[in-house]
Structure 1
Amino acid sequence: MRVAVGVTVAVCAVTAVLPGAASAEPARGAGTVGARGAGVERVSVASDGTQGDGGSAGGTITSDGRRIAFSSVAQNLTTGSPTTYEKVFVRDRRTNETLRMSTSAPPVQRHPVISGDGEYIAHWGLIQRDTKTFLSQLRSQGTIGINCPGLSCSQPSLSEDGRYLVQVGTSGRPAVRQRIEVQDWHANTTRTVFEFDHTAPSRPSISGDGRFVAYQDGRAQDVFVWDRTDDTSAGPIEGPSEAATLVQLSRDGSKIVYLSGSDTHVQDEASGTDRLVPDARGLAIDPTGRYLLYAPQDPNGPSLVLRDLVTGTDETVSEQPASAGTDAVSTGGRDVVFHSAADDIVPDDTNGTSDVFVRHFY
């Protein structure tokens, strides 16, 4: 049973107030490269370029491609981080500086997401047996605990300026219920988007302006979109006869990516039209909704491919085995973040573990 709730309540646990019908796409061979050139660099390195002495993973990028947040167990990326537990870092590609963001956070930090403007990083923290969401500000490098909707919270998604944060909270031990909440740091309020009487994944994704939240009912396998302006949910967007899994809402709110069977669908929110990308597992979409990062189902082809949904052309992101998450593509598809344990993506990769890379298209 799904219950829509539109009540606004004050956020009390903040320790600081922060500033504010489907049409199939023409089939193309995976890895068909467009006209743009490309290059790649490793970003899970120290400020002086030293490679990490432990594994790094994840990776989310700002809209302009300047900053990348990732998690790592490396001890040598910054000073004062000798412990081997997982920590969150931000790499500034303009200044070549690597900063540790989880300096005062709990002993395990993972799954970071960065705001589109690069000012805020949300990440999970493990406190004993519960997970909590924390928000770090780049300028102050301070970590702030935020209100958690339940005993545990996770799966944060940030608006472009970090003002709005959506997350999932579970209640009960063992967890039996969950709800999705959006917090507004300017108004210092929180709103519950939906409550579920189960804990199957809900995977929320928020638009850049904080108005729309896409989410899924993991038990019913349906995808919905909530509008903060009129407090209503639309869906299931995939229709009543399909099972769907949400991937991501583009930052401009124009496109929503979801999986159904072995295919990826990209729905245009204004027209309701649905673009089919067959035999592909969608992973992320750029802020404008034009460029889709996906993993081809063909095991003999590249592991990651970037598709221009307007022209239908593909560009190879990684030939070697690699993985990527949401918010991994910058505006215009110019940069794509991924992680891989391959040692031949860049020269002198001798650490024998996974690293985070960014592929540039220009």
Structure 2
Amino acid sequence: MRAVFRSVMTAVAASACAVTLLASAGAAASPQEAQKAQKAHKSKEPSVRRVTQGANGPSGDASVSANGRYVVFESSADNLVPGDTNGAPDVFLHDLRTRRTVRAGLTADGGQAPYGGSSPVISADGRYVVFRSRDLIRGQEQTGYFRRDLGTGATDWVGGADDLYPGEGALVGASVSADGRYVSFTARQTRTGRPGHRTAVRDLATGGLTVLDSPYASEAHLSDDGRRLVYWESVPAPVSYPPSRVFVLDLRTGQSRRLDVAADGSTTTARSGHPAVSGNGRVAAFASWATDLVPGEDPNGARDDVFVADLRTGALRRLEAPAAEGHSTLPSLSGDGRYVVFGFTPPGVSWGTTHLYRTDLRSGRTTPVSRTADGTPAAATTGERPVDAHGRTVVFSSADGALAPGAPSPGGDVYVRTMR
């Protein structure tokens, strides 16, 4: 906060000097011009608003389309749309242009889902929403992921835990290609002493299901064309401090390679995970405790940092954290691969409390995302696709009501920040 205050004071001082120089040259700005300049300066500041204003229940797990217009999210509120009487959380879609909210998690017949819906993600083109639910297609008792076509209203079955661990699995995440054709999903084994994770990709055009060979593949994310898949391979609990690593898989050729690898080809023994891939499939990101992946001293030591990999050249870089200590984790990438949105846990803050930031990989500039009007960082979380194609629109959820004007909803809201 002090750094923000210093930056503002520096900008004010610079503006004052500029006005003085113009005045001495006989070109003093009029009050009207000064007012215009002030408005222009303010318009460059990021803006934030509450998407779920007036909701009577908590909302979260937000995802945004590539053009930054449509937001899908999960909410327990029953007053966002008329006729919400199923008594369960549902999946909603909000149009940021018209500010209209509709329920996206519906049955194949267009009715409300009897068991609600959760864990939504929207395709880059904004046409498809993938979410978790149960018994949406008449005559078919299915629990797992469904895909709804917002254009035609069609609801299709994608897959569930039984596809990976029959009778002994639980779903933990999904991702979708830009055109909605490919959907990846992951299940966790639940009935063994050392549970594993398995990930599969469904081709909804052919119905084909590709199951990854790895018995520990989790947190998978697809590129827009559905060709590249990044995933985290980790041995789950009860193993203490299990090893973990990140990979990118070319689903067309079947070739995979590890991403947490140093320039000299050496692999780290530190934990790496939470991968992400840009929509264009050219950039990947992940978090790691490693101090030996890139040259130079690691300012925060053996704590989580975000690393960015160029998938064409293999070049790896470590992002500069907002503070010298703390943890940077949970990265997401804009569709064009230029921006990284990530969570940062400052020193002295309880683990799992993250403040969101956005880094421009071209300029290196890092900007706060989840902050209140007075510059105070706010704890926030993101869904599977929280940033648009060009890094301008970021959606997130938070219980901090000071993020936007108006009364906050009980349990937390979904917010959208427009970065300029």
TM-score (norm 2): 0.70
**1:287 alignment partner AA:** G
Alignment of 1:163-312 (within 5 A): 163-170=181-188, 173=191, 176-196=195-215, 202-219=218-235, 220-235=243-258, 237-238=260-261, 240-241=267-268, 242-261=270-289, 262-277=304-319, 278=321, 279-298=327-346, 303-312=355-364
Residue number among 302, 315, 320 corresponding to 2:367 in the alignment: 315
What's the CA shift for 1:106? 5.2
Q: In structure 2, how many angstroms separate the alpha carbons of the residues matched to 1:69 and 1:356? A: 10
- Alignment partner, residue 352 of structure 1: 410
Map Cα deviations across residues 216-235 of structure 1 (whole Å, 9 max, x no partner).
21124011111122112112
Q: Assess if the C-alpha contact under 8 Å between 1:181 and 1:194 holds in 2.
A: no
Equivalence for 1:23: none
Give the fraction of aligned pairs with identical amino acids, expressed as a percent.
27
Secondary structure of 1:289's aligned partner: coil
Who is 1:135 aligned against?
147
Answer whether contact 1:248 1:326 (CA < 8 A) is retained.
no
Matched residue SS, 1:194:
coil
Match of residue 395 from structure 2: 337
The alpha-carbon distance between structure 1 residues 333 and 236, as it changes in their structure 2 partners (threshold 3 A), is closer
Given the superposition, is the C-alpha separation of residues 274 and 74 from structure 1 closer, same or farther in structure 2, using an over 3 Å criterion? same
Displacement of 1:176? 4.5
Query: What is the identity, as a one-letter code, of the residue corresponding to 2:205?
Result: H
- Which structure has greater helix proportion? 2
Figure out how many residues of one structure are paired with residues of the other and give that number: 324
The amino acid of 2:365's aligned partner reads T
Distance 1:285 1:350 in 2: 28
Alignment correspondent of 1:68: 71
Please give the per-residue CA displacement for 1:108-146, whole angstroms capped at 9, x wherever unaligned. 42211110001111112268xx95111122123443222
User: Which secondary structure state, in structure 2, belongs to the residue aligned with residue 344 of structure 1?
Assistant: helix
- Mapped to 2, the partners of 1:355 and 1:171 lie a distance apart of 32
Deviations 1:186-232 (A, max 9, x none): 23322222241xxx561111110011111121124011111122112
Distance 1:110 1:40 in 2: 24
How far apart, CA to CA, are the structure 1 residues paired with 2:232 and 2:310? 17
How has the CA–CA distance of structure 1 residues 303 and 246 changed in structure 2, closer, same or farther, with 3 Å as cutoff? closer
Tell me if structure 1 keeps the 8 A contact 2:146–2:159. Answer: no
Matched, 1:44 2:86: no
Alpha-carbon contact 2:184-2:201 (below 8 Å) kept = yes
- In 2, Cα distance between equivalents of 1:216 and 1:343: 34
Paired residue for 2:97? 94
Answer 1 or 2: higher relative contact order, Cα 8 Å, separation at least 6: 1
CA shift in 2, pair 1:228/1:335, >3 Å: same
AA of the residue aligned to 1:155? G
Once structures 1 and 2 are overlaid, which stretch shifts more, 235-244 or 69-78?
Answer: 235-244
The aligned counterpart of 2:82 is 79
Q: Conserved in 2, the CA contact under 8 Å of 1:343 and 1:352? A: no
CA contact (8 A) 2:61 2:384 kept: no
TM-score, structure 1 normalization: 0.81
Cα deviation digits, residues 136-172 of structure 1 (max 9, x gap) = 2212344322233234444110011111111124567
Q: Which range is displaced more, 170-179 or 326-335?
A: 170-179
Do the aligned partners of residues 56 and 133 (structure 1) sit closer, same or farther apart at CA in structure 2, a change above 3 Å counting? same
Structure 1 residue ranges without an equivalent (≥5): 1-28, 46-50
Query: In structure 1, the residue corresponding to 2:381 is in which secondary structure?
Result: coil
1:124 aligned to 2:124?
no
Cα 1:339–1:299 change in 2 (3 A) is farther
SS in 2 for 1:331: coil
Gaps of at least 5 residues in structure 2 are 12-40, 108-112, 136-141, 236-242, 290-303, 322-326, 372-377
Determine if contact 2:129/2:150 at 8 Å carries over to the other structure: yes
**Rg bigger for which structure?**
2
Richer in strand (by share): 1
Distance in 2 (CA, whole Å) between partners of 1:41 and 1:306 is: 17
CA distance in 2, matches of 1:185, 1:52: 34
Q: Using a 3 Å threshold, how does the CA distance of structure 1 residues 244 and 126 change in structure 2: closer, same or farther?
A: farther
